[in-house]
């Protein structure tokens, strides 16, 4: 699983005996400095060739009240055929970062720095005419609310054929044939009749299927699904997740899944990136993050999930509210809500931003926390509550 590189670390090369001595001392202190090799491994530890590579991404919005730091130093990668789930509360930067990948932010009102590469090609700074060629072709987005994403005055079939013809010089008949194939592929019954219907004539689940058909009509290598199962009942939600899984196997696409539902994450994701206040706070394979989380915010998310077996127990919500992105707290952004900050010596949680470091000193699973006994706390206190 790929892991974001720490935003505050620099590449270092040891070229002398003194440097070797310094490296040995640094090893005793812990992995606070990333070598070039470790930095690369943290972005793509699986060794698979990534299709999407995001490095040190920052997205800021200047406003009359100040600069909103929506995303800060975010790094990750997604190989073809794998699904990365980006999770976190509302306002954590999930959708903002993915809209940056799509090039959908207003350049006059947004400051974007860092690197976003699709298939090895840098897209940050590309002119709008070039971005339009990429959107819907190399990368597509399935938005959260298909009711507002589909145009109410055009038939569903016409909207899918238009998405296809924008990137292919084909006749209307050829585009219609392709649209019918996609409607059938995503499981919409009677595609011929549904082709000529309007979005309001579709159910919520069918509208989401139509959005997926539109997103995949050009065989994109990257699909960004922004809360694709929101407002759908459990049965339809399961159908949509199965559909995305099956289509990924058929098209071989990389998927970035934006969600707050950890049940969906467990069902879909190969890798998980947890965001809080615009930063990555934990990153690893789904197995590592869900079974052995090492960041108090991730613990809080897991403890907030209701379970059938705990019918008589009260939920354990994360106390407080996410911080204002206009005025982030010093140190760890989670410190005003963290129940474990008093276990860190001194005032580090309120003064020093923790680095994103491997939880075991060398692996791909990373977390951003000053606690030195995270594994012990999780095993002794958190895991029993989750079970």
Would you give per-residue pLDDT tens digits along the chain (387 residues)? 444 444 443 343 333 333 444 334 433 333 333 333 444 445 554 556 899 999 999 999 999 999 999 999 999 999 999 999 999 999 899 999 999 999 999 999 999 999 999 999 999 999 999 999 999 899 999 887 778 889 999 999 999 999 999 999 999 999 999 999 999 989 899 999 999 999 999 988 899 899 999 998 999 999 999 988 776 778 888 888 888 888 898 888 999 999 888 888 988 999 999 999 999 999 999 999 999 999 999 999 999 887 766 566 777 889 999 999 999 999 999 999 999 999 999 899 999 999 999 988 667 899 999 999 999 999 999 999 887
Task: Look at strands 66-79 and 50-63 and give their pairing.
Answer: antiparallel
Closest listed residue to residue 247, CA positions, set 214, 285, 290, 207: 214
Tokens of 144: 């959260």
Instruction: Identify the domain containing residue 377 by its residue range.
Output: 30-138+220-386
Locus of tokens 């090609």: 121
pLDDT value of position 55: 96
Closest listed residue to residue 252, CA positions, set 48, 83, 132, 44: 83
How many Cβ atoms from other residues are within 10 Å of residue 5's Cβ? 25
Residue 192 lies in a domain: no
Q: Give Cβ neighbours of residue 291 (< 8 Å, ≥ 6 apart).
A: none
Residue 114 lies in a domain: yes
Separate counts of helices (H) and strands (E) for the chain? 16, 12
pLDDT value of position 32: 33
Locus of tokens 């860190």: 344
* Spatial distance between the Cα atoms of 68 and 66, rounded to a whole number of angstroms: 6
Contact of 77 with 44, CB cutoff 8 Å: yes
382: helix, strand or coil: helix
Residue 295 lies in a domain: yes
Q: What is the pTM of this model?
A: 0.84
CA 235 to chain centre: 24
pLDDT value of position 20: 40
Residue 172 lies in a domain: no
Residue 314 lies in a domain: yes
Helix 172-185, helix 204-216: angle, nearest 10: 130
The number of domains in the chain is: 1
* Spatial distance between the Cα atoms of 359 and 356, rounded to a whole number of angstroms: 9
Residue 1 lies in a domain: no
Phi, psi of 63 (to 5 degrees): -130, 175
Locus of tokens 């974007």: 112
* Spatial distance between the Cα atoms of 257 and 271, rounded to a whole number of angstroms: 10
Task: Output b/e per residue, 143-156; b: 16+ Cβ within 10 A.
Answer: bbebeebbeeeebb
Locus of tokens 């194939």: 181
Helical (H) or strand (E) element with 101: helix 94-102
Residue 107 lies in a domain: yes
* Spatial distance between the Cα atoms of 316 and 313, rounded to a whole number of angstroms: 9
Residue 203 lies in a domain: no
Task: Look at strands 50-63 and 366-368 and give their pairing.
Answer: unpaired
* Spatial distance between the Cα atoms of 162 and 147, rounded to a whole number of angstroms: 18
pLDDT tens digits, 284-327:
999 999 999 999 999 999 998 877 665 667 778 899 999 999 99
According to DSSP, residue 162 is labeled: H
pLDDT value of position 344: 94
* Spatial distance between the Cα atoms of 98 and 84, rounded to a whole number of angstroms: 12
Locus of tokens 């970062």: 97
Q: Give Cβ neighbours of residue 244 (< 8 Å, ≥ 6 apart).
A: 212, 223, 225, 228, 255, 257, 268
* Spatial distance between the Cα atoms of 140 and 36, rounded to a whole number of angstroms: 32
* Spatial distance between the Cα atoms of 365 and 196, rounded to a whole number of angstroms: 49
CATH code of 310's domain? 3.40.50.300
Locus of tokens 């309007």: 198
Q: With 0-12 CB in 10 A as exposed, 13-18 as middle and 19+ as buried, what is 161? A: buried
Tokens of 127: 């002119």
Q: Give Cβ neighbours of residue 122 (< 8 Å, ≥ 6 apart).
A: 115, 116
pLDDT value of position 379: 94
Tokens of 33: 């400095």
According to DSSP, residue 8 is labeled: T
pLDDT tens digits, 362-377:
678 999 999 999 999 9
* Spatial distance between the Cα atoms of 264 and 387, rounded to a whole number of angstroms: 19
């Amino acid at each position: 699983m790929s892991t974001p590189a720490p935003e505050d670390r620099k590449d270092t090369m040891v070229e002398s005996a003194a440097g070797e001595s310094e490296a040995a001392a640094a090893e005793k202190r812990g992995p606070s400095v990333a070598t070039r090799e470790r930095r690369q491994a943290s972005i793509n530890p699986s060794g698979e060739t990534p299709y999407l590579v995001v490095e040190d991404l920052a997205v800021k919005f200047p406003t009359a009240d100040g600069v909103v730091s929506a995303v800060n130093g975010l790094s990750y990668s997604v190989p073809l055929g794998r699904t990365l789930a980006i999770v976190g509360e509302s306002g954590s930067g999930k959708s903002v970062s993915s809209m940056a990948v799509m090039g959908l932010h207003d350049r006059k009102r947004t400051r974007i720095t860092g690197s976003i590469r699709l298939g090895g090609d840098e897209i940050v700074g590309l002119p709008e005419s070039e971005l339009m060629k990429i959107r819907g072709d190399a990368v597509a987005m399935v938005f959260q609310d298909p009711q507002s994403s589909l145009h109410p005055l055009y038939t569903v079939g016409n909207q899918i054929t238009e998405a296809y013809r924008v990137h292919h010089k084909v006749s209307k008949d050829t585009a219609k044939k392709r649209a019918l194939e996609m409607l059938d592929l995503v499981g919409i019954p009677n595609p011929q009749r549904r082709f000529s219907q309007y979005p309001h004539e579709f159910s919520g689940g069918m509208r989401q299927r139509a959005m997926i058909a539109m997103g995949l009509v050009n065989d994109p290598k990257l699909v960004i699904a922004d809360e694709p199962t929101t407002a759908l009942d459990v049965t339809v939600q399961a159908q949509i997740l199965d559909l995305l899984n099956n289509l990924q196997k058929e098209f071989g696409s990389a998927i970035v899944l934006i969600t707050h539902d950890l049940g969906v994450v467990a069902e879909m994701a190969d890798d998980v990136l947890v965001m809080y206040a615009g930063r990555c706070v934990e990153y690893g394979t789904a197995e590592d993050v869900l079974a052995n989380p090492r960041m108090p915010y991730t613990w809080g998310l897991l403890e907030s999930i209701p379970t059938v077996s705990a019918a008589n127990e009260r939920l354990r919500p994360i106390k407080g509210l996410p911080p204002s992105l206009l005025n982030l707290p010093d140190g760890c952004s989670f410190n005003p809500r963290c129940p474990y900050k008093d276990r860190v010596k001194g005032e580090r949680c309120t003064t020093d931003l923790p680095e994103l470091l491997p939880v075991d000193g060398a692996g791909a699973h990373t977390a951003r926390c000053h606690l030195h006994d995270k594994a012990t706390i999780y095993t002794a206190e958190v895991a029993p509550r989750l079970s």
